[in-house]
Amino acid sequence: MDQPLSTPLDKIKKCIESEQSFVLQGGAGSGKTETLKRVVNYCTERFPNKKIVCITHTNKAVDEIIDRVGTGVEVSTIHSFVGGLVKPYKRNLLKYLPELFCLPLFEELCIEHYGGDDKVRKTEEHNRYKALHETWASRRLIVLQESTEKVTGKREYDKAPSSFNAALNAGIEELNDVVRESLRHHHFKDVAYNDTPFDSFNNATFGHDGLIKIAALLFSNYSNIGKIVRDKYDCIFIDEYQDTDEKIIDSLINFTPEHGLTIGLFGDSEQAIYDDGIVSAIRFIDDGRLKLIEKEDNYRCSPQVIDVANKFRSDGLVQKVGLKEVNGKLEEPEEREGEATFYYSIKPLPPEKPVSPKKRDSDDLKSAYKIAKAKYDVKLKEYKLDLSCRLENLTAFAQADIGEHVLLKLPNKSIARDANFGNLYDLFDGRFRDTREEIRKQLDRLQFGQLIEILQLFNRSSIDNRSYNKLIGLLKKQGFVIKNKQDKRELYSMLEEFSVSDEAAYVVMEHAIKAGLISLSDSHKSFLIRRDRELERFAEDTSFDAFKKLLDHGCNTKKRMCDYLAENDDIDLASVVVEEKYEQLKKDVQSEAFFMGLFGKNIKFKEVLAFFKYENDDSNFMTMHKTKGTGIENVIVVLDEFNWNKYDFGSCFRAEDDNPSRQALTRKLLYVACSRAKKNLRCVRLIEELDEVRNISNYFDNCVHVNLD
């Protein structure tokens, strides 16, 4: 008689019984978190003396897991868990604290590293030099309160790169010596995890990223810590492992004893769409440290959607329809049927760009080029507007008869306006490529993320005691202590005002700092110092205002500026200055506009609130990045990059691409987006040529051409 097939849960039970660490790899809709709940229940019933901890990434996720598994098991964020492990070892923490603030020396990479391409080598080496120089300058500002000369441009750098690299390394070594000597004078009791995103050099404390780095150093240098973890826990289960920092996974697997501790990872490497996680556990699987357990069932999607989504996976896991019980009755296969359709339209040809004249060409040719270029610029603007309209019309065609649905696309200006942070988006879009990521990065640096977290906890505290306790704990770490009922009333009144404030964003931040809700971080201070020094430099540069006047006159290129100066004498600026300083002055104008916008009256605090509401999935606007773990009946995915350089949806349908890392990242994003659809999936894209359709038809059985002319 045939033995029944072993389920993923059965395999996990055997792993726990034999103290074998494992990774449960399951695609979208496979019920990974439900399996985690069942594993915890099995452990508590079968091995009641086992000490178990479940680790996840956010406080919201912690609450969700507690709701599923109950309060009898320790559930923690990754930072709370690691912070608790390292807290007792303050002397050791002080010893390794300089590693968070000391900078690595610049190491030149040989031409072989760049495939023998000397032009690429020169460009990339200068980019590396520039990045490290900027980090060094920022660190000098924090440690020494001293500004640093601007980084050397590529033209000068290329003349003597080794000399510039040596000078930078000398500066780094000097700064690192100051860092070590300064931190050596702190008492070990000063060293602590500050539960913020920021390391603090002056206070000898470390934030989220610093905690991960210093914990990894302790694990790798003190074997006793791994033994203590083994003695404290029998099972460590990590949810959404693909988003966990690789240093923590590595520490737990490689620096804890082989016996007496079971580590279980639950997640999906194909849903790792962010940059800071381990992504895949394949190296631990290959060396036998982890047993791979695949979960092939998909309890969410129709077979048509599953078929498409499977083709975007790169790990070999093939999902199949898993029927679930609804009100005690197993659903029928017919109930899961749906559709997966690709709607496309051919882009019209772009306007032809005129060929630039050469220096030796006649004035007539140059004059004709100026006229042709002006016409081209108008046509190009009209062409881009036409493409935008065509994409809207194609999307509307796909929406026509699908019923209630969710539209997924990359974050863009339209979504930002609809979600009420349009001015904030426009400010960053004028300066950065990855607009959404930079908004989050810079707002976090100015500690808006901390203030928003305080407000979110406050708004939930009236109905959730856990939120109230977290709020009080968070404020206490900032040095804000509630001593009596009057303090509490004043706090609540202030937070209520912030929640509905119509004041400028940074004005509200200044109120929060003055009230003691926010303790100014080193990073925040250095940002303000750099802003003030940059604005002061602009004011002292006599060519800066003249350059802005030229821009106001419509001279938005170097040539137009020089032509204007040659024909007019109303602006006091020499053409030679424009020739030499054009790029720098252009960047300076952008920087001034950015600083004045971010700290001015136009960016209201309610836009910052709206942005974080959107980021935290509390708004009605969904994008591809914000749907992980969500199941939606009908989904339409718009395959347009919206000027995001890190994605290329066309590459998803090609077997190979000249940028494989971008192709892999885009495929993962598309897998996440498509696998949200429970029933019906429709993708839309404007394509360059019909050859693309042949590639797309390998993924979608149903491709529909829509004529928009």
205 is in an annotated binding site: no
Residue with tokens 């826990």: 233
Confidence (pLDDT) at 363: 84
Work out the mean pLDDT of the chain and round it to a whole number. Answer: 90
Confidence (pLDDT) at 707: 93
Is 541 inside a domain boundary? no
Is 607 inside a domain boundary? no
70 is in an annotated binding site: no
Is 563 inside a domain boundary? no
Task: Provide φ and ψ at 254, rounded to 5°.
Answer: -95, -15
CA distance 419 to 144: 42
Is 605 inside a domain boundary? no
**Shared-domain flag, residues 291 and 318:** no
Count other Cβ atoms within 10 Å, centred on residue 220. Answer: 15
**Shared-domain flag, residues 85 and 229:** yes
Structure tokens at 258: 């082989």
Is 204 inside a domain boundary? no
226 is in an annotated binding site: no
**Shared-domain flag, residues 376 and 305:** yes
Q: Are 199 and 522 in contact (CB under 8 A)?
A: yes
Tell me, what DSSP letter sits at residue 300? S
Is 527 inside a domain boundary? no
Domain boundary among 259, 274, 295: 295
CA distance 94 to 50: 33
557 is in an annotated binding site: no
Instruction: Look at the chain and report how many structural domains it folds into.
Output: 4
**Shared-domain flag, residues 305 and 403:** yes
**Shared-domain flag, residues 75 and 107:** no
3-state SS, residue 273: coil
485, with CB counted inside 10 A (0-12, 13-18, 19+), is exposed
Is 249 inside a domain boundary? yes
The angle subtended at Cα 680 by Cα 674 and Cα 686, nearest 5°, is 60
**Shared-domain flag, residues 228 and 164:** no
Confidence (pLDDT) at 1: 41
Total-model pTM: 0.84
Q: What is the mean pLDDT of residues 191-209?
A: 91
Is 538 inside a domain boundary? no
**Shared-domain flag, residues 380 and 302:** yes
Q: Are 592 and 530 in contact (CB under 8 A)?
A: no
650 is in an annotated binding site: no
> What are the tens digits of pLDDT across the range 245-291?
999 999 999 999 989 999 999 999 998 866 677 878 899 999 999 99
224-262 as b/e, with b when 16 or more CB fall inside 10 Å? Answer: ebbeebbeebbbbbbbbbbbbbbbbbbbbbebbeeeebb
Is 468 a residue whose pLDDT tops 90?
no
**Shared-domain flag, residues 632 and 700:** yes
CA distance 270 to 316: 11
**Shared-domain flag, residues 402 and 305:** yes
CA distance 287 to 294: 17
**Shared-domain flag, residues 233 and 176:** no
29 is in an annotated binding site: yes
84 is in an annotated binding site: no
| Band of residue 61 on the pLDDT scale cut at 50, 70, 90 | confident
Is 691 a residue whose pLDDT tops 90?
no
> What are the tens digits of pLDDT across the range 396-446?
999 998 988 888 888 888 888 888 999 999 999 878 877 888 999 999 999
Structure tokens at 426: 């426009």
27 is in an annotated binding site: yes
CA distance 87 to 157: 45
Domain boundary among 519, 539, 561: 519
Domain boundary among 279, 295, 311: 295
- 160-164, 523-527, 631-635: range with highest mean pLDDT: 160-164
Residue 694: give its domain's CATH number. 3.40.50
CA distance 543 to 302: 63
State which residues form the domain around 175.
98-185
**Shared-domain flag, residues 314 and 381:** yes
Structure tokens at 165: 């690299």
Please enumerate in sequence order all residues whose Cβ is within 8 A of that of 498, keeping only pairs 6 or more positions apart, or say none.
451, 455, 508, 511, 512, 605
* Residue of higher predicted confidence among 418 and 84: 84
